[in-house]
Structure 1
Amino acid sequence: MPLTPEVLTANSGVVARLRSLDVFFAPDEEPWFTIDGIESPRHIGSDGSGSAFVLLPSQNVLYVSSEGRAGIIAESFEAFIQLVVTRPYWLDILKFSAGGDLAEMRRAADALEATLDDEDEVNAAREDIRGALELPETDDPIGALYEAVAASDAIVRATDGSPFTTLFNRFSIDNNPMLRNAAA
């Protein structure tokens, strides 16, 4: 059976563990953005910053940042959960992507993973979720994230009509001393 929001939210233990990975399945009721061509977007959850996760009619998962950035991050709901579990720092990978450079994203992922070595709660949550949902291993979560964001064609607008920008940010891990040292 494919993983859907309904299947996942029926498992309260997994929902609780996903909270420690900054994913909350309590969508906002108040719309603060629109998506061109989609009448009623299915807002499935949010993160701690108030950003939204949206399941599109195509079954892609769209991330709408509270800071004016948006893009498709996964080809399906299951791929979204796999991304969050395998790379809970996926948003930081995009932040330190040097404008969407896949090699830089891989470097950022390695540095960010190294910083999680002492994060027992995050690592335990990852293992618990994988086991409870019987998630298969993903071949290349960074490549899949890159492809999803690069191919993203969803146009998200603020309530004033201004379009959101891409999720790729211009920074590299070299801009952050902690990550630069973790990569060394």
Structure 2
Amino acid sequence: MPVTHEALTANREVVAWLGVLDVSFGPDEEPWFTIDDIESPRQIGSDGSGGTFVLLPSQNVLYVSSEGRAGIIAENFEAFMQLVVARPYWLDILKFSAGGDLVEMRRAADALEATLDNEDDLNEAREQIRDALDLPEPDDSVGALYEAVAASDAIVRATDGSPFTTLFNRFSIDNNPMLRNAAA
């Protein structure tokens, strides 16, 4: 049975574990953005950096950052959960994507994962969430993230009407000494 937002939020233990992965589910806040052709965006959660997760009518999950970037990150809610659990640093993968280069995203994912070796709380949260939701491992979470963001056609606008930019950022792990060393 697919994982749904409603079933997940009814499970307080899983919601608590997701907090360790920097994802929280709370009541909708007053929107600080608009999405073209969507009258009432359904905000389903947020992260610690002020970003918001939105479940679109198509069932895609859209991420809207507090820094003027936005894009679809998963084809549905279950794929979103798979992404967050498999790659809790998914936003950093996009930050170090060298403008949306899949090879760079894979390098970033490997380097970021290597930095988590001693993160027992995070790894326990991943295991607990997978077990509680009977959540399968994604086949290729980085590839799925790349495809979702690359195909994103949602136009998100700030309250002044200016459009948000893509989630792909121009940095590479080579710009970060810690990640560059972790990848070596």
Conserved in 2, the CA contact under 8 Å of 1:23 and 1:46? yes
Give the C-alpha shift of residue 164 in structure 1: 0.1
Structure 1 residue runs of 5 or longer lacking an equivalent are: none
CA distance in 1, matches of 2:96, 2:145: 13
Match of 1:75 in 2: 75
Match of 2:130 in 1: 130
CA distance in 1, matches of 2:18, 2:172: 27
Q: Give the letter aligned to residue 46 of structure 2.
A: S
User: For residues 1-184 of structure 1, what are the structure 2 equivalents within 5 Å?
Assistant: 1-184=1-184
Give the C-alpha shift of residue 3 in structure 1: 1.1
CA distance in 2, matches of 1:59, 1:125: 25
Conserved in 2, the CA contact under 8 Å of 1:64 and 1:71? yes
CA distance in 1, matches of 2:56, 2:99: 25
Q: Name the count of aligned residue pairs.
A: 184
SS at match of 2:24: coil
CA distance in 1, matches of 2:138, 2:51: 25
Q: Give the letter aligned to residue 169 of structure 1.
A: N
- Overall identity of the aligned pairs, in %: 85
CA distance in 2, matches of 1:28, 1:10: 16
What is the Cα-based RMSD across aligned positions, in Å? 0.6
Q: Give the letter aligned to residue 179 of structure 2.
A: L
Give the C-alpha shift of residue 147 in structure 1: 0.1
Q: Which runs of 4+ in 1 moved over 4 A?
A: none
Give the C-alpha shift of residue 27 in structure 1: 4.0
SS at match of 2:157: strand
Give the C-alpha shift of residue 28 in structure 1: 4.0
Conserved in 1, the CA contact under 8 Å of 2:28 and 2:42? no
Under a length normalisation based on structure 1, what TM-score does the superposition of the two structures give? 0.99
CA distance in 2, matches of 1:144, 1:172: 19
Conserved in 2, the CA contact under 8 Å of 1:34 and 1:158? yes
Partner deviation per Cα, 1:15-73 (whole Å, 9 max, x = no partner): 00000000000144211000000001100000011110000000000000000000000
SS at match of 1:62: strand
Structure 2 residue runs of 5 or longer lacking an equivalent are: none
Under a length normalisation based on structure 2, what TM-score does the superposition of the two structures give? 0.99
